[in-house]
Amino acid sequence: MQNTTDLKRLLVLDDEPDVATTLCLMAEGAFFETQHTSDAEVFLEKIDTWSPTHVVVDLQMPDRDGVEVLQTLAKMGCGAAVIIASGLGGRILDSAARAAKENGLQFIGTLSKPFSRAAFRALLTTDVPTSLPRKVTSSAANLSSVTEEQLADALHNQVFVAHFQPKISCTNGALAGFECLARWPLKDGSMIPPDLFISLAEQTGLIHELSRQVYHFAMANLPQQVHSQGVKIALNLSPINLKDEGFPRWLLEKCEENDVAPSQVILEVTETASMDSPLALLENLTQFRIKGFQLSIDDFGVGYSSLVQLARLPFSELKIDQMFVKTVATSKESQKIVTAIVNLGKSLGLDVTAEGVEDPWALNFLHEIGCDEAQGYFIARPMATPAASAWTQPPFEV
Ligand code: C2E
Ligand code: CA
Ligand code: CA
């Protein structure tokens, strides 16, 4: 006998009674209690009164569309595992799924009608995430924003460090390099993630000092493989850093001090609307290239006028945005986009890296379509220097 607190409850919202009944029968076979309705109001009421552990929401309803229902679920703080069902095409399902995730729902998958018993059973046995993916601990967890004064203080005290995330070859799985990611440590050992302070640093002009501190730390604390195997390091460069004319020379000096060849260093630049003064940008990027550094266009596919920038600017690498890579195993659209970007990059003679590789399927797919390098939680998370230095070949074969 199962404990009542372990009992799983499935609530289905679908206007086709046959579909709803079939889903419920299948779930009962997997020891779920079930209820279904075709009325969105009744459905929302049952969320409160019956507290289902799992819900299926049909996107197409005569009285209310599924997206609206999902928005209401998110506003109610619904913690159930959410499955989205529809007879509509993959692209519509994909965007509804993205919206559900971005609204903070515990989205576990989509069901494309007509669906198979196996696909539904697989979803019902999926582990429900118990916490948000990007975990920040203790005091950093309570922080939703930082002030300019706090940032200036931290810079004054030189607290910034870098963590290192491995990049591997998609051809043979060998370590290809590390991306250096800024971290702001607090006294209790927790870390403020860069999403909470990079744009503030950019808006306030503190990014110039911040980049110097992070790069200085990274260069002085590189994982040993950078020296012993000559692997690359990638540094994130804000477009605002490009306005600092002395920066390429400063970085060259840092390389010399730390015995790193500029050709081992890749500067990852994200395109933004601030790239609106093409000549200055072109000159500064070219200065880095002349000094021997490599340049990567970061988050490719979601930025501004990507194709124009790619053709005109002296990039040597293209980094596919994680939004497409994370969903490549489940979305045909993402597979097509990733394949197209890899082909585009290759035809322009660029190295192509995919980031956001969260499962073995994605890594294998990237290998098959000829992507050069891969980075992501499936391979390794960002780590402090000792862990990065001890990191060895992944325990899987590509
Ligand atoms: P980014 O350059 O796109 O860096 C990748 C981010 O994705 C990192 O987050 C990394 O931890 C995370 N990530 C890597 N693999 C996966 C994966 O498989 N799944 C998921 N969900 N996430 C993954 P992080 O360290 O929080 O950095 C966030 C952003 O902050 C960076 O995005 C970059 O834009 C910015 N940033 C970080 N360090 C610096 C820096 O020194 N200077 C500048 N200007 N920006 C920085
Ligand atoms: Ca990056
Ligand atoms: Ca990126």
How do residues 96-146 score in pLDDT, each as one tens digit?
888 888 888 998 888 887 788 888 888 888 776 543 333 334 566 666 678
Q: Give the Å distance between the CA of 122 and the centre of ligand 3.
A: 31
Q: What pLDDT is recorded for position 37?
A: 94
Q: Are 310 and 301 in contact (CB under 8 A)?
A: no
Pocket test for ligand 1, best of 165, 181, 192, 254 (most atoms within 8 A of CB): 181
Is residue 166 lining ligand 1, measured as CB closer than 6 Å? Answer: no
Q: What pLDDT is recorded for position 137?
A: 43
Exposure b/e, 37-67, CB count within 10 A at least 16 = b: bbebeebbebbeeeebbbbbbbbebeebebb
Q: What pLDDT is recorded for position 130?
A: 47
Q: Give the Å distance between the CA of 397 and the centre of ligand 3.
A: 25
Rounded to two decimals, the pTM is: 0.72
Q: Is the pLDDT of residue 2 over 50?
A: no
Find the ligand nearest to 217 CA. Answer: 1
Is residue 377 lining ligand 1, measured as CB closer than 6 Å? Answer: yes
Rounded mean pLDDT, 272-300: 79
How do residues 211-234 score in pLDDT, each as one tens digit?
999 999 999 999 999 999 999 999
Is residue 382 lining ligand 1, measured as CB closer than 6 Å? Answer: yes
Neighbours of 170 (CB within 10 A): 25
The residue behind tokens 């609530």 is 11
Q: What pLDDT is recorded for position 135?
A: 36
Phi/psi zone of residue 161: left (φ > 0), alpha (ψ -120 to 50 degrees), beta? beta
Is residue 358 lining ligand 1, measured as CB closer than 6 Å? Answer: yes
H helices within the chain, ranges in order?
17-29, 40-50, 66-75, 90-102, 117-124, 138-141, 148-156, 198-204, 207-220, 225-228, 247-257, 278-290, 306-312, 322-326, 332-347, 360-369, 385-390
**Rounded Cα gap, residues 111 and 207, in angstroms:** 45
DSSP 66-133: HHHHHHHHHHTT--SEEEEEESS-HHHHHHHHHHHHHTT-EEEEEEESS--HHHHHHHHTSPPP-S-S
3-class secondary structure, 157? coil
Q: Is the pLDDT of residue 83 over 60?
A: yes
3-class secondary structure, 57? strand
Identity of the residue numbered 124: L
How do residues 306-353 score in pLDDT, each as one tens digit?
577 777 788 999 999 999 999 999 999 999 999 999 999 999 899 999
The tokens of 254 are what? 């840092």
Q: Is the pLDDT of residue 363 over 50?
A: yes
Quick one: which atom of ligand 1 is closest to the CA of 270? 34
Structure letter (DSSP) for residue 353: E
Q: Give the Å distance between the CA of 264 and the centre of ligand 1.
A: 20
Q: Give the Å distance between the CA of 117 and the centre of ligand 2.
A: 40
Q: How confident is the model at residue 274 (pLDDT cuts 50, 70, 90)?
A: low
Q: Give the Å distance between the CA of 52 and the centre of ligand 3.
A: 37
